[in-house]
């Protein structure tokens, strides 16, 4: 299979979807002529024309609002919000309109839109280009929330999201856009295929939303992670020598609770890792679910390793989000608990 970056895999997913279905349209800020700030849509306007892939004004509210109207009348918009940090003007449209349209209309209208957003830090983007807002969307009934960790998953999950009849928030970890990394500052020492690019099948394939994947099998403890933190967890397990099982959630909503419970019941210990802030982060939901369903299997309390409860600190970026040292300490603490 050809090897591709996550950028190339995401572009391939949109290309395949547009080629198969004339109702799929792609638009957003700088998405058409320029091909997107991260080049995820490069060449799509040239291939499919300006009515299928086009630029939008600098108005996230307008981009998502227009997409909802298009979706209600038969199109399948896949829109790009240039950075996840920019989504807040569109939040009302997503929560009050997109997520509720099916229910408010008793099924007469649906909202098959995908909102793609680069998420997370690692590029020294500062406070307004580095946020991880996934918990703001997992709280909303009617949405689906996806966070891929590798190119093959990114393509299959994005195709599935485009084909889904309901709104999907598709969060793309920008630290992984151009290849995997070793869990530290740079890339690639422990990539997914011992190569800086991931193997991605040609043509159409869709991965089911709501299914996690075991990235590393183990018996001592379970690490629940998604996106960039999958590789941080792998690095921590390698450095500590702990026989950790690493579960890549892939989809946060709907959540693969069966896979989580099977792993934690096997290992008896659980560490939750995410880049977003601690308080009310998605890790709190994961910890609550594990405690509720695995209480009598647990050998130690569930531990969360997260970003700080502060605005994103540009000068301390690599200390802000979890690295292998912090995750490793949590794993050792859990083993000693």
Catalytically active residues, by annotation: 129
Q: What SS3 class is residue 270? A: strand
Q: Summarize the chain as % helix, strand, coil (round to 5).
A: 40, 20, 45
Give the Å distances, CA to CA, from 160 to 16, 38, 165, 193.
12, 22, 10, 23
CB neighbour list of residue 323: distance below 8 Å, 6 or more residues apart? 183, 184, 232
Task: Identify which of 330, 269, 323 has the alpha carbon closest to the alpha carbon of residue 122.
Answer: 323
SS3 241: coil
């Amino acid at each position: 299979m050809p090897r591709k970056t996550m950028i190339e895999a995401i572009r391939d997913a949109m290309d395949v979807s547009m080629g198969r279905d004339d109702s799929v349209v792609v638009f957003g800020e700088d998405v058409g002529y320029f091909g997107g700030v991260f080049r995820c849509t490069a060449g799509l306007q040239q291939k499919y024309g300006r009515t299928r892939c086009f630029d939008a004004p600098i108005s996230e509210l307008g981009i998502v609002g227009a997409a909802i109207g298009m979706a209600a009348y038969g199109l399948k918009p896949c829109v790009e919000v240039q950075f996840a940090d920019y989504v807040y003007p569109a939040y009302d449209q997503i929560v009050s309109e997109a997520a509720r349209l099916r229910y408010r209309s008793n099924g007469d209208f649906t909202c098959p839109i995908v909102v793609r957003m680069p998420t997370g830090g690692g590029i020294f983007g500062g406070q307004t280009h580095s946020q991880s807002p996934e918990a703001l969307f997992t709280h909303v009934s009617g949405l689906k929330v996806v966070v891929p960790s590798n190119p093959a998953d990114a393509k299959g999950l994005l195709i599935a999201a485009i084909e889904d009849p309901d709104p999907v928030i598709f969060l793309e970890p920008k630290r992984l856009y151009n290849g995997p990394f070793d869990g530290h500052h740079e890339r690639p020492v422990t990539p997914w295929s011992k190569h800086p690019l991931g193997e991605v099948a040609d043509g159409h394939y869709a991965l089911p939303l709501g299914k996690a994947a075991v990235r590393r099998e183990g018996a001592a403890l379970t690490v629940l992670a998604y996106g960039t933190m999958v590789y941080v967890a792998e690095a921590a397990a390698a450095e500590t020598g702990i026989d950790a099982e690493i579960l890549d959630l892939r989809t946060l909503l709907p959540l693969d609770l069966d896979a989580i419970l099977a792993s934690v019941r096997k290992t008896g210990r659980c560490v939750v890792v995410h880049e977003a802030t601690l308080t009310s982060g998605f890790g709190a939901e994961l910890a609550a679910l594990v405690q509720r369903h695995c209480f009598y299997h647990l050998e130690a309390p569930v531990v969360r390793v997260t970003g700080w409860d502060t605005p994103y600190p540009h000068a301390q970026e690599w200390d802000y989000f979890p690295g292998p040292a912090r995750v490793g300490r949590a794993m050792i603490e859990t083993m000693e608990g």
